Chain A
């Protein structure tokens, strides 16, 4: 499996007469794009633009998606939703690097996140550095929340696919090629290096807690193998809104830094063998079954070590520990990637579950840390949800637009794939 990503550098986004990429600027024909997104479940759709450095706040954010287009190879981006259910991950894909679609909508009265394009909040989200096309959609009267969520989710994929098409014939500024050999070849490569696999945990428990793999709800799968390049073509997409700081948006899946780093150092520091996708469940029996299958598949690969990334906090900490313990007991070393809810002073226990075998853990930050976000000149969406958003409280939103809340309100602030700027500091 070989995939070349052709990155087209986008430095600005503007509305124009034609949707196209010209000299690094993404021009968007607003009327044409809105017409392309029409859905009988949505009463109205509007577009706005948010660029780095602007005094703009976007909230509540539902999803962030990177525009891409399949130029060579089978299938299309977002298989199972926009494209057919062809296997993806090989050929050539063009990426509008530096641009994103952000969907916003009030599905329920709480939970979704904030993206500030400037100020202190912008430092906590990678999406403040992008040229964003924001899609604002209002549901038809009486539309049920499940339907509203599905309509918004699919609209985001259609929007990113529509914009991605503008890059089809553009010569990329940079091409990165990833080679993922078949298993027998992979296992014999680099015999002197440790063999490493990746366990990719996905939230999958219900409304606003779901993730999809090739269009299937991940709660309905058993853990399975995927090639690392499949995620780059949108094989995994987000339907998850809980919580803003540590949910994986679709953009995170497309650009998973865990996969990117494993591929970048493959053949130098280790032999990256493959990825096992698994779910996070409601029932204890399902947690046991999925972690048993994950341990079986990773053991089957014969690797020396595995990285395990979590999505979310609390209940999924049990899945994280089960995966860790069952791998460690097979002699497979694990490194866990998670975030913390350690209280506003950072002094409390970080996770809801723990085990002595979980002795190598990377934190993506403490979601309970409090931040004050100054008012912005422009708000796209609904600022009033700040009072009921996860990580906010009554009084979070002040009259002048200032928001004081925990950083869990910020989209991607403590992302558990490590896609953020937070780091530790030496004391």
Chain B
């Protein structure tokens, strides 16, 4: 049984059957889904924001939560609600550009690279 769930809208990521691919080109959908998971008692394992990439600079987003519902975690709630609020504000102020396919592939790569850094660390800790 996996101990973690990847939530992502990045189609370039190889997912396990229990991970969740969100069919939306909007990273807000990923954060909103994560918010729902957090309120059901899943804990965030990675930070909801990506590296130093702002929410209005990359439509792809991937993050990792615990597979088990461990009870509502105040730190996870605070983080996901804060990041969702920030992302909505930044996307309203300056919406995402429409990217050509080659740039989209690069944006997927950056998101994947940041996720892989997290997965490598979480694997050592027994979450993968």
Contacts and interface: CB of A to CB of B under 8 A. Distances in A.
Given A281-B121, A282-B46, A318-B47, A313 B82 contact: no
Contacts of A344: 93-94
B110 A282 contact: no
Interface stretch (B7-15, B24-32, B33-41, B101-109): B101-109
B89 A209 contact: no
A282 B54 CA distance: 15
A256 interface: no
Given A242-B52, A388-B103, A390-B54, A282 B114 contact: yes
A283 B54 contact: no
Contact of B52 (A286, A312, A368): A312
A285 B47 contact: no
A243 B90 CA distance: 15
B117 A282 contact: yes
B68 interface: no
Interface string A63-80: 000000000000000000
Main secondary structure, interface of A, reads loop
15 contacts: A108-B106, A205-B117, A206-B51, A209-B52, A282-B46, A282-B114, A282-B115, A282-B121, A284-B45, A284-B46, A285-B121, A314-B86, A343-B93, A368-B93, A387-B97
Given A283-B46, A344-B94, A393-B94, A203 B57 contact: no
Contact of B51 (A109, A246, A312, A392): A312
Interface residues of A, number: 46
Contacts of B90: 341
Interface residues of B, number: 41
B49 interface: yes
Interface string A259-294: 000000000000000000000011111110000000
Contacts of A393: 94, 97
Interface in A374-427: 387-388, 390, 392-394, 406
B97 A388 contact: yes
A208 B115 CA distance: 13
A109 B103 contact: yes
Given A206-B117, A282-B118, 9 more contacts: A108-B107, A109-B99, A207-B110, A243-B54, A283-B45, A283-B46, A284-B75, A341-B54, A394-B98
Interface of A: 108-110, 145-146, 203, 205-209, 219, 240, 242-243, 246-247, 281-287, 311-316, 318, 341, 343-344, 348-349, 352-353, 368, 387-388, 390, 392-394, 406
Contacts of A284: 44-47, 75, 79
Contacts of A311: 52
Contacts of A286: 121
Given A205-B51, A283-B122, A318-B79, A348 B89 contact: yes
A315 B52 contact: yes
B52 A394 contact: no
Contacts of B83: 352
Nearest to B45: A283
Nearest to A385: B103
B113 interface: yes
B52 A388 contact: no
Contacts of B17: none
Contact of A209 (B51, B55, B99): B51
Top 9 A-B residue pairs of the complex, sorted by shortest distance between their CB atoms: A312-B52, A109-B103, A282-B118, A108-B106, A207-B113, A206-B113, A314-B49, A315-B49, A242-B52
